[in-house]
């Protein structure tokens, strides 16, 4: 039984309350959209998903099917339990912020994943002092032999989806990345909506 479904608007973010065992299905409706992702423990908002601890626990710089996303206390928060495209999701690049867009030449306000993270938590009455690194679903970042990073358009196609199982009661925070200057959201540099469903369990008919 689906508990919640939403079309997350391009360039915006939202927080979703999940109970342990529930599954969030994130569908890349148009194929090109990166989704910055965080988890915040319901019991204590100071416990937040941590990409450095996640890389340490998995001994990998990517998140792939079957891997866990852990907290700054090294507790499992989410597990990637299904991935229709069998991608390698990025943990290295930082969530975009206002300073980045200024450096890219933007004048005035520009939505950002950092802003979306804090805005989504504020709607739940939660404030945190910093912006933790995000899991970047569908982001296509390759690491070259010399250690440099190659930012590529997403390898996903329309309809590709991932499923994340909550391993504790938590807030799942998602940002449909508003990047419209680089090709991180595709060669046309156009952020797009994604579909989000919170279900009691993963089924054969998901999504």
User: What pLDDT was estimated at residue 204?
Assistant: 59
pLDDT at residue 205, as a whole number: 54
207 inside domain: no
* Domain assignment present for 61: yes
Residue 119, classed as helix, strand or coil, is: helix
Range of the domain at 188: 2-199
108: exposed, middle or buried (C-beta count within 10 Å: 0-12, 13-18, 19+)?
exposed
Q: What is the residue-level pLDDT of the chain in tens, covering all 207 positions?
A: 567 899 999 999 999 999 999 999 999 999 999 999 999 999 999 999 999 999 999 999 999 999 999 999 999 999 999 999 999 999 999 999 999 999 999 998 999 999 999 999 999 999 999 999 999 999 999 999 999 999 999 999 999 999 999 999 999 999 999 999 999 999 999 999 999 999 998 875 556
3-state secondary structure the chain: CEEEEEEECCCCEEEEEECCCCEEEEEECCCCCCEEEEEEECCCCCCEECHHHHHHHHCCCEECCCCEEEECCCCEEEEEEEECCCCCEECCCCCCCHHHHHHCCCCCCCCCHHHHHHHHHHCCCCCCCCCCCCEEECCEEEECCCCCEEEECCCCCCCEEEEEEECCCEEEEEEECCCCCCCCCCCCCCCCCEEEEEECCCCCCCC
How confident is the model at residue 112, as a pLDDT? 98
Predicted local distance difference test score (pLDDT) of residue 143: 94
Q: How far apart are CA 55 and CA 128, in angstroms?
A: 23
Q: Tell me, yes or no, whether 191 lies in a domain.
A: yes
13 assigned to some structural domain? yes
pLDDT of residue 202: 80
204 domain residue, yes or no: no
Does residue 50 belong to any structural domain of this protein? yes
The model carries a pTM of 0.95
Looking at residue 110, what is its pLDDT? 95
For residue 16, tell me if it sits in a domain.
Answer: yes
pLDDT of 116 reads 98
Tell whether 96 is covered by a domain. yes
DSSP 95: P
Q: What is the predicted pLDDT for the residue at 33?
A: 98
Question: How many independent structural domains does the chain possess?
Answer: 1
């Amino acid at each position: 039984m689906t508990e919640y479904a939403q079309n997350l608007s391009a360039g915006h973010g939202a927080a979703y309350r999940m109970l342990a065992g529930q599954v969030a299905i994130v569908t890349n409706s148009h194929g090109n959209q990166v989704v910055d992702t965080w988890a915040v423990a319901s019991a204590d908002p100071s416990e937040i998903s941590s990409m450095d601890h996640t890389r340490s626990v998995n001994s990998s710089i990517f998140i792939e099917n079957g891997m866990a996303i852990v907290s700054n206390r090294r507790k499992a928060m989410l597990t990637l339990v299904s991935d229709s495209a069998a991608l390698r999701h990025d943990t290295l690049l930082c969530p975009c912020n206002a300073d980045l867009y200024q450096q890219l030449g933007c004048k005035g306000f520009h939505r950002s994943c950092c802003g979306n993270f804090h805005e989504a938590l504020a709607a739940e009455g939660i404030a945190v002092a910093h912006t933790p690194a995000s899991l970047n679903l569908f982001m296509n970042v390759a690491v070259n032999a010399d250690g440099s990073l190659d930012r590529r358009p997403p390898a996903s196609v329309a309809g590709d989806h991932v499923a994340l199982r909550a391993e504790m009661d938590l807030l799942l925070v998602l940002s449909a990345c508003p990047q419209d200057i680089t090709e991180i959201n595709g060669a046309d540099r156009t952020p797009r909506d994604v579909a989000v469903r919170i279900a009691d369990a993963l089924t054969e008919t998901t999504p």
